[in-house]
Structure 1
Amino acid sequence: MHTINLQGSWTRREAAELPDLGDAGLRARFRAAFAGAQPFPHLVVGGLFDPAFLLRVAGEFDGGLTGGRAIANARERTHRSGRPSAFGPATQRYFDLMHRHAMVDFLQDITGLAPLIVDPMLMNGGLHESRDGGRFAIHRDFNRHRQTMLDNALVVITYLNADWQPEWGGQLELWCARRKRVVRSIAPELGRTVIMAHGAHSWHGHTVPIDTGGTTPRRSVATYYYTRRIGLRERLGYHSTVFALDGKGRFAPSDVVPAGAGASLRQRAGEAARQVVPPVFWNLGRHLAGKL
């Protein structure tokens, strides 16, 4: 499957905006390509961002890596950024765009993964740089965010390397479920964006050590998106807005339909009961129901 290239009209002096992501035909093409990709759902897009804008992001890497960490072990050799507050203005703009509603809505639509939740602190994301000798063994990504415990659903990687040569190595390799062979190899070229679903078989890496003769680091920016795969018990424990009691000890009236137009009769009945049953008895009933 080939890269889908967008024909962006980057005519402004500093084009730091996304193309129109609301086009129904474009979304349909992306949706079909993502779902049908092998060895696991993914999409490679060229031209999503203005190349001149991405070169500005690349030019801010040295400052963006300040306070970050270098990883060097038998499986991985790379450099990662620290706090996003250290990023330059173009880099901050890039991640602002990735966290906007237009992008999140687009990603939810083409991947079928919803709801997607952004992480402004960019845990495990941010700036990634590999220098000569850098490699990343076959792996699949972490399953949950360490602080929020939200489920890792998707990663979007944009490469920042102008004139990257194939003999330098560093290609992103997508491996089959049994880790026996490379199904797809993606060169980390400037303007190439990879959208990858996280799952039990999303094995990838760049196993060929980079060798540019010490001239060019391999740079990319990565954004993770999360979701929450809640169980039945948690869904039953959900409630909508709770309003304060009025001066006479009664629940204040609400002009909000708690469960929406598509609510089931059981949901509407439960919500109505919650509005009239005193909180102490309501909480006791929920506690006993949980025990049962």
Structure 2
Amino acid sequence: MNAIISKSSHENSELLRTQFENNTPFKHICVDNFLDQSISDGLISEFPSFSNDRAVNEFGQYGAKDVNWELQQIGPHYKAVYDSLTNGEFTRWLSSVTGIEDLVWGGESTYGGGTHENLNDAELDIHLDFNFDDRNQYHRRINVLIYLNPEWDADWGGSLELHKDPRIPATNEIKAFPPFANRAVIHETNDHSWHGFRRIKLPQDKQHLSRKSLALYFYTKDRPQEEIRGNHTTHYIHWPLPDSFQTGAEVTREMYQDIHRLISKRDSFINFFHDKEVEQAATIKHLSHRFNDLLDRATPPVLGYVSRQVGKQIGFFEDGWIAPRFSMGFVAERPVRKVKLRLAVPDNHRANYVIEGRIGDTPFEVKKSAFSGAITIECKARIDKGADFKIVIKTKSDLESPVGGDQRDIAILLQQIEFEHA
């Protein structure tokens, strides 16, 4: 039996599995007395002091949240938790209650995991977590949030809220869990697991307290296909203006400060993403130049040493696909009398094709019904030495939808151009 997780959590694992599957607004469970009591008490007593050096968020701003991910260094009880996480005992229990096999703890330095301490006035905007750890190529699947506050009142704020969809207030469903000691909230992370907590407002005689927790993130190598939406960072939705801000209401000092704080936060986010947009635009421009340069360098294999290319080819992709119109210019270094074009249609793209074009001034046309496989087009030509000429290929098919985007919608590969001289 796991020495970290409490006996009751083990004994109720089947019930917790059922609750996890059926709870709304998304899969989750709230487990009181989650850890063995001695472990919980030890984590509370060893909880690290707040450090301003660690109170930096993902936007590079110093604030009222301290994150310490060095669990092994904090104290013996944190070391015991670390050992349980690394030897697989914790993850085996977690898999049994979530139904997600092969879970892996994200480890130390796992993008914000570790001890979290939030001071008075701190809040966490409703958000979706980043869904992919690109360092290890793992999908983020489960959050385990263990609270370590022996003295807390729900009226002080700081309750974890799970939302169905904060962008649609009329149909949004919210569940809230005050951060009481030895309570764990375990929830899935995907593109609908919105969560956060409202601003902490401690009474005057409780200002020495803070909201303390241990955050553990778990991953898998794969995730269900229906949950894959593309990799993204954390997505935030700011808290709305206070409910007291209504037509005809007196604007109190507290209301003014709340509104000013919320607007300042929005302005900060706008500035951050503006700077990010400028930075990414410069990166995209640089990569576009590189990409276009690589495309320019991509040419189909040319055999015969009869002609050399001049100018840029149009409609040829580096993996051999051609666009509906392909053209390529040459200079004949020896007289050209015949050109062979070798093309191919993938087996899974069987269709009716019309392939036409010209070699210099000599036209050609080929029609194929329900065709797939290789095709060789031989075109007699009369191109004198030193003459400029073009090879043009125009392709039509009855394929119902694009095969790959970026104009590769004809599903034809140009594999080789071969010249024969006089």
Q: Does 1:168 align with 2:159?
A: no
Long gaps (5+) in structure 2: 226-422
- C-alpha distance 132-35 of structure 1, shift in aligned 2 (>3 A): same
Q: Does 1:112 align with 2:99?
A: yes
Identify which range, 142-151 or 209-218, moves more after superposition: 209-218
Alignment of structure 1 residues 8-157 onto 2, 5 Å: 17-20=4-7, 26-62=12-48, 68-71=54-57, 77-123=64-110, 124-157=112-145
Long gaps (5+) in structure 1: 1-14, 233-292
Q: RMSD of the alignment, in Å?
A: 3.0
The 4+ residue runs of structure 1 with deviation greater than 6 A are none
3-state SS of paired residue (1:70): coil
Output the CA distance in 2 between the equivalents of 1:97 and 1:19.
Answer: 13
Cα displacement string for residues 5-26 of structure 1 (whole angstroms, at most 9, x for unaligned residues): xxxxxxxxxx963334896x72
- C-alpha distance 99-196 of structure 1, shift in aligned 2 (>3 A): farther
Cα displacement string for residues 59-88 of structure 1 (whole angstroms, at most 9, x for unaligned residues): 3223585863333979x8421114334322
- C-alpha distance 42-99 of structure 1, shift in aligned 2 (>3 A): farther
Measure how far apart 1:170 and its partner are.
Answer: 0.4
Output the CA distance in 2 between the equivalents of 1:45 and 1:177.
Answer: 24
Cα displacement string for residues 135-194 of structure 1 (whole angstroms, at most 9, x for unaligned residues): 000001111224212110101111000121122110001111344245210000001011
TM-score (norm 1): 0.65
3-state SS of paired residue (1:71): coil
Higher strand share: 2
Letter in 2 for 1:204: H
- The number of aligned residues is 216
Counterpart for residue 275 of structure 1: none
Alignment of structure 1 residues 113-262 onto 2, 5 Å: 113-123=100-110, 124-179=112-167, 180=169, 181-213=172-204, 214-229=207-222
Counterpart for residue 235 of structure 1: none
Counterpart for residue 5 of structure 1: none
Contact 1:72–1:78 under 8 Å retained in 2: no
Output the CA distance in 2 between the equivalents of 1:222 and 1:62.
Answer: 14
Identify which range, 90-99 or 63-72, moves more after superposition: 63-72
Output the CA distance in 1 between the equivalents of 2:165 and 2:153.
Answer: 28
Letter in 2 for 1:90: H
> Percent same amino acid among aligned pairs?
25
- C-alpha distance 122-182 of structure 1, shift in aligned 2 (>3 A): farther
| Structure number with bigger Rg | 2
Contact 1:170–1:207 under 8 Å retained in 2: yes
Output the CA distance in 2 between the equivalents of 1:172 and 1:215.
Answer: 21
- C-alpha distance 64-78 of structure 1, shift in aligned 2 (>3 A): closer
User: Which structure has the higher relative contact order (CA within 8 Å, separation 6+)?
Assistant: 1
